[in-house]
Amino acid sequence: MPFASRPVCPAPVGAPGSACYTIRIHSAGGRPVAIIRKKTGNFLEDFRIGSVLRHKVGKTVTEGLVNAFTEFSMTANPLHKNRRYAQLFGYRDMLLPPGLVMAVVFSQSVEDISENARANLEYVDMRFGAPVHVGDTIESTSLVLGVTPSSKDKTLGVVHVQTTGRNQHDVVVLTYERKVQVWKHDPDAEVVKASTSAPAVACELVLPPYDPATPYRTVAHLSNADTYFEDFTAGDVIEHSRGRTMTAEHIALTATLDNTSQVHCNQHMIDQNPERFVGGQLIIFGGIPFQLCLGLSCPDVADNSLGDIVYRTGRHSAPLFAGDTVFARTEIATARDLAGRPDLGILDTILRGHKFVAKNGAAEKVEIFYLERSIAVKRRSHYA
Amino acid sequence: MPFASRPVCPAPVGAPGSACYTIRIHSAGGRPVAIIRKKTGNFLEDFRIGSVLRHKVGKTVTEGLVNAFTEFSMTANPLHKNRRYAQLFGYRDMLLPPGLVMAVVFSQSVEDISENARANLEYVDMRFGAPVHVGDTIESTSLVLGVTPSSKDKTLGVVHVQTTGRNQHDVVVLTYERKVQVWKHDPDAEVVKASTSAPAVACELVLPPYDPATPYRTVAHLSNADTYFEDFTAGDVIEHSRGRTMTAEHIALTATLDNTSQVHCNQHMIDQNPERFVGGQLIIFGGIPFQLCLGLSCPDVADNSLGDIVYRTGRHSAPLFAGDTVFARTEIATARDLAGRPDLGILDTILRGHKFVAKNGAAEKVEIFYLERSIAVKRRSHYA
Amino acid sequence: MPFASRPVCPAPVGAPGSACYTIRIHSAGGRPVAIIRKKTGNFLEDFRIGSVLRHKVGKTVTEGLVNAFTEFSMTANPLHKNRRYAQLFGYRDMLLPPGLVMAVVFSQSVEDISENARANLEYVDMRFGAPVHVGDTIESTSLVLGVTPSSKDKTLGVVHVQTTGRNQHDVVVLTYERKVQVWKHDPDAEVVKASTSAPAVACELVLPPYDPATPYRTVAHLSNADTYFEDFTAGDVIEHSRGRTMTAEHIALTATLDNTSQVHCNQHMIDQNPERFVGGQLIIFGGIPFQLCLGLSCPDVADNSLGDIVYRTGRHSAPLFAGDTVFARTEIATARDLAGRPDLGILDTILRGHKFVAKNGAAEKVEIFYLERSIAVKRRSHYA
């Protein structure tokens, strides 16, 4: 059987190394009659404007997932860790942190949208809806909003999608747009630039009502005393003190999310063509620095937040690798009222992640993450 | 106290390095009166044909265990991940994947059967029974079927056992035979070749009934559209596209299963006698490539399976180490009806795992795992 | 903005490298008006005798936490793993192992007590109370008992606290004293030696009553047959057979506990000043060897224990690093009756952990952990 010697996971022409397909050899009468290369995931030419991709598998959130993909981030908001606290605030149970909700929905979309991606370019208008708890089942869909072939490189182009995750009651928990640079499978395939506008998706952060009879102050010592809405002013800049070194643990963390992208877990593929991959090594899945920057910044800006409302835009400014230590910084852009909720205020912030890279004997600071993030923060007047 | 300087975990004569014992010093009147070397696990001469070993501890399956020992494998069958899906198919809850059921039962048998093993030789007639869910408690026993001293090496021999795992209702969830090469403690101990035949153990895959009124098609998008029974023909060969690099994570993964074997977790022991251990390094527990090959192959052959029926035979063809990347391939040997279930068909498959090893500057493909695997697969006619 | 180029996490004068603070730049009219260095955690001069620190966040115990921070230790007591067994003994559910209860409470105290510590010196009178199960919420407080400036080094001193953890019913699950060497923030700050005595904290191990009608013997095969109270004599010494190599997994394990100390997870901080940190590398959190030594010793001395009563004193004799393999040894100091419980006896033991360090080509044994540990052990006469 000559097929057995075929290299596994060969790179299709024009998609240098980052794409895979399954080889399926059909037989009849005991002899191979057809070799089918079944593409894993979609390539640029496979996307059709307006089509809806219903992503596979789905995921019921377990205490195992939450422990693995929350705690590594060093988040400190008791809503994610302390049932007594969460229930006193009116939630059914502890909440998944926003970075985990994002990572679950995003990962469900990977096989269909970005398994053959070169780079993730931008998150746009990411909004959170119903709270997510252990036991909820999340399923996701993506709507194709745009396809733009590269004018410079015939092997590449940009796909623009709107991805939405829903729980078992068909209620939206997250929606966002994403722009991603995707390989073509056949560099000569014709791809015509096309786009459509994003439809409105009803998705607003669900907040429990403020109840003056609830003894919120009895748990005020569980969060910081200087992170209420009143403590922030537009223009404030906070360099968060803590750092966290990521290790090869990222491979298992990514698998925990059902993220199938091979650039995070297939070292053999990288070793075959190291120069074709960013950094020539396994790259850490973006959901990890995303969650980590939210976590590292939490004790200084978000441990008195009731939730993340919207991320207007976000991007991974540079790749992250095993061994890198991540730090974070928050800038307060605006502090404003939240209509109808005198107990809360909105902080519009810019969250940046960075790492240090050795250069000429010194450690050079490199930005790895940028997120425009708006959160609903408790007012001291009502809660402490 | 001169005993304190004694090396911990010394190798008994004839059992080169892979065996341990606890040293217990009994005292009287404040002075040591006896030194007892308590062997950890059994050696070849300790096994008695027909004896039943009731393994210790037992294990209640938690969401933590399932997250750790399912997700790393990249399995894609929604029955293991999506409660909504599993319940629509008639299960009480999500199912543990078969590789996890196997790894739990197998690991419970390690201390008694293979803590002093040199190599695991073969799995035989491994059959699955009742589905296993989070909250179930698994306990296991092994019946000694055969002992065969090596004709070439007086320090070794083969033990043949039948191991069976049961849940808290005393219902069988798994049964299989295993042949394992075990060290002698005393190379001069006499061991007579003996064997008995394996008794029948009632263990048949429990499948929920097909219900024409159930809206199965409403969840058909959660699995692949081209992996129904009708999609396979005897002779088909599928090279699965994805690979997964294993890291030192294997040490914790193995501990998660209560597997006590030192060759997976005791680097100091290896360093004392590297030439005595396969590869001179920690070897990855076989349950890991077992689960991983099932997972990597899942999206192409088993994401529309309702369960694994039997593994007629299986073996680890070569060892796996931290840093290796695992790939998988499935061959369809037979596609046949399942009596009484027109909605399902049986695929008899051969699942192979492999890795690549650097040799003369090239990457040589090495088979690491072989499993004859029969699964019950949904027919498109009934489900999609 | 010149502030951006400031190094993150600089070491304050006098606190060489182990301490951090958040830099907060307040603005007005879009211009920075104040730079506030918010210290993360307390320094020596911040502690006031008699003050009570109510630690933040709290933690609801999940199946994810228990899986991660129990199984790595290779503990073998079925009370921690087998629900059927635990419930037959009269517990509501499986118990958290004592090392996990300790690690959760201890970690909650880190930010307030030891984020700016140089070294943990001693655990004193650590007593366990109510059993802890999955679903319980643990919150902790510390009372400052003493502050002693170093007579030799004006940058350091010793803080003595009493830390107590309670569950959601306000019942004590653990209380202990701790002595820890803490940096001063300002080496010239005046610190006067002061102390107060530890108040009594009601905390006694809750044991289920013995019930002669319960068929304990039906599960006796799940624990060892030679680890009942009758099997031990004062003076016995047991070198436990198994070892376990710790890897970089320790970073995530520590985060799982909400432990915020940077010396366990911030490689960049270490790299900036390696000579200032013990071993010049990330140090493994003490809760890990603590739990691991309890686990490695379990099958030989504690798999028939119903619980840990008190640790009179304990200390980390030497640091542990990724790559080290941990072994354990138990000495039986006393075997005595437990008043009112003829079914149980108390073993007062000394548990030691050690590792091997290469020195002059040989592996030198180094003690890393010492614990005076008293446990309540089943008598064979009543249970087997």
CA-based nearest residue in chain C for residue A78: C57
* Identity of the residue in C84, C223, C239 whose CB atom sits nearest the CB atom of B23: C239
- Chain centroid to CA C60: 18
Residue among A47, A260, A19 at smallest CA distance from A157: A47
Q: A75, A232, A245: which to substitute to probe chain C, counting the most C Cβ within 10 Å?
A: A245
What average pLDDT does range B87-102 have in this prediction?
A: 98
pLDDT higher for B89 or C277? B89
A380 half-sphere exposure, CB direction, 13 A CA radius: 10
* Angstroms from C169 CA to nearest CA on chain B: 24
Task: State the pLDDT at residue C98.
Answer: 98
CB contact at 8 A, B291 and B351: no
What average pLDDT does range C169-174 have in this prediction?
A: 98
Check whether B283 has a pLDDT greater than 70: yes
Check whether C31 has a pLDDT greater than 90: no
CB contact at 8 A, B142 and B179: no
Specify the pairing of strand A137-149 against strand A194-195. antiparallel
List of chain C residues whose C-beta atoms are within 8 Å of the C-beta of residue B27: 233-237
Position A232, amino acid: F
Q: What stretches of chain A show up as alpha helix (H) in DSSP?
A: 63-71, 83-88, 98-109, 249-256, 267-272, 287-301, 380-383
> Cβ A74–C269 below 8 Å, yes or no?
no
**3-state secondary structure (DSSP) of residue A358:** strand
- Name the DSSP class of C281: S
* Angstroms from A53 CA to nearest CA on chain B: 9
Task: State the pLDDT at residue A295.
Answer: 98
> How many other C-beta atoms are found inside a 10 Å radius of the C-beta of residue C120?
20
> Cβ A8–B239 below 8 Å, yes or no?
yes
* Identity of the residue in A65, A71, A221 whose CB atom sits nearest the CB atom of C256: A71
Alpha-carbon torsion angle C134, C139, C145, C151, nearest 10 = 80
List of chain A residues whose C-beta atoms are within 8 Å of the C-beta of residue B292: none
* Identity of the residue in B65, B83, B239 whose CB atom sits nearest the CB atom of A60: B83
Position A245, amino acid: T
Beta strand extents in chain C (DSSP E only): 21-28, 31-39, 52-54, 59-60, 117-128, 137-149, 156-166, 172-183, 194-195, 237-239, 244-245, 305-315, 325-337, 344-359, 362-378
> Cβ C21–A241 below 8 Å, yes or no?
yes
Dihedrals phi, psi of A241, to nearest 5 degrees: -75, -30
The rounded radius of gyration (Å) of the Cα atoms in chain C is: 22
Tens place of pLDDT for every residue, chain A, 384 residues? 222 222 333 343 333 333 456 777 777 766 777 666 667 889 999 999 999 999 999 999 999 999 999 999 999 999 999 999 999 999 999 999 999 999 999 999 999 999 989 889 999 999 999 999 999 999 999 999 999 999 999 999 999 999 999 999 999 999 999 999 999 989 999 999 999 999 999 999 999 999 999 999 999 999 999 999 999 999 999 999 999 999 999 999 999 999 999 999 999 999 988 887 888 899 999 999 999 999 999 999 999 999 999 999 999 999 999 999 999 999 999 999 999 999 999 999 999 999 999 898 888 999 999 999 999 999 999 999
Check whether C369 has a pLDDT greater than 50: yes
* Identity of the residue in C62, C244, C248 whose CB atom sits nearest the CB atom of B266: C244
Q: What percent of chain B has pLDDT over 70?
A: 92
Interface predicted TM-score (ipTM) of this complex, two decimals:
0.92
Measure the CA–CA gap between B187 and B191, rounded to whole angstroms: 10
A170-186 in b/e burial notation, b at 16+ Cβ within 10 A? eebbbbbbbbbbbbbbe
- Chain centroid to CA B150: 25
C11 pLDDT tier (thresholds 50, 70, 90): very low
> Cβ C9–A327 below 8 Å, yes or no?
yes
- Chain centroid to CA A118: 16
Residue among A248, A237, A249, A351 at smallest CA distance from A290: A351
> Cβ B67–C68 below 8 Å, yes or no?
no
> Cβ A30–B238 below 8 Å, yes or no?
no
Summarised one tens digit per residue, pLDDT across range C84-121 is 999 999 999 999 999 999 999 999 999 999 998 988 99
B369 pLDDT tier (thresholds 50, 70, 90): very high
CB contact at 8 A, A176 and A125: yes
CB contact at 8 A, A10 and A40: no
Summarised one tens digit per residue, pLDDT across range B314-366 is 999 999 999 999 999 999 999 999 999 999 999 999 999 999 998 988 889 99
* Angstroms from A223 CA to nearest CA on chain B: 27
> Cβ C251–A247 below 8 Å, yes or no?
yes
Task: State the pLDDT at residue C20.
Answer: 54
Task: State the pLDDT at residue C37.
Answer: 63
Task: State the pLDDT at residue C30.
Answer: 64
What average pLDDT does range C180-185 have in this prediction?
A: 93
Angle ∠(C271,C274,C275) on CA atoms, nearest 5? 165
CA-based nearest residue in chain A for residue B235: A27
Summarised one tens digit per residue, pLDDT across range A259-282 is 999 999 999 999 988 887 888 899
List of chain C residues whose C-beta atoms are within 8 Å of the C-beta of residue A243: 8-9, 262, 265-266, 268-269
> How far is CA B71 from each of CA A59, A202, B224, B249, rounded to the nearest angstrom?
11, 32, 18, 13
What average pLDDT does range C221-249 have in this prediction?
A: 95
List of chain C residues whose C-beta atoms are within 8 Å of the C-beta of residue B17: none
Residue with tokens 């991983």: B292
What average pLDDT does range B92-103 have in this prediction?
A: 98
List of chain A residues whose C-beta atoms are within 8 Å of the C-beta of residue C9: 241-243, 327
Q: What stretches of chain C show up as alpha helix (H) in DSSP?
A: 63-71, 83-88, 98-109, 249-256, 267-272, 287-301, 380-383
The total number of residues written for chain A in this structure = 384
Contacts of A31 (CB under 8 A, 6+ apart): B235
The rounded radius of gyration (Å) of the Cα atoms in chain B is: 22
List of chain B residues whose C-beta atoms are within 8 Å of the C-beta of residue A35: none
Beta strand extents in B129-225 (DSSP E only): 137-149, 156-166, 172-183, 194-195
pLDDT higher for A17 or C6? A17
Task: State the pLDDT at residue A277.
Answer: 82
> Cβ C81–B57 below 8 Å, yes or no?
yes
Task: State the pLDDT at residue C2.
Answer: 27
> How many other C-beta atoms are found inside a 10 Å radius of the C-beta of residue A154?
14
Summarised one tens digit per residue, pLDDT across range C237-286 is 999 989 999 999 999 999 999 999 999 999 999 998 888 788 889 999 99
Q: Is residue A280 left, alpha or beta, with left meaning phi > 0 and alpha meaning psi from -120 to 50?
A: left
Residue among B244, B250, B314 at smallest CA distance from B283: B250
Task: State the pLDDT at residue B230.
Answer: 97
Q: What is the pTM of this model?
A: 0.93
β-bridge mates for residue C35, sequence order: C25
Q: Give the helix/strand (H/E) hosting B59.
A: strand B59-60
Residue among A124, A89, A123, A32 at smallest CA distance from A219: A89
Q: B56, B247, B284: which to substitute to probe chain C, counting the most C Cβ within 10 Å?
A: B56
Average pLDDT, chain B: 91
Measure the CA–CA gap between A358 and A336, rounded to whole angstroms: 40
Summarised one tens digit per residue, pLDDT across range B207-233 is 999 999 999 999 999 999 999 999 999
Provide the token pair at B328.
């998988």
* Angstroms from C235 CA to nearest CA on chain B: 5
Q: What stretches of chain B show up as alpha helix (H) in DSSP?
A: 63-71, 83-88, 98-109, 249-256, 267-272, 287-301, 380-383
Chains with at least 3 CB pairs less than 8 angstroms from chain B: A, C
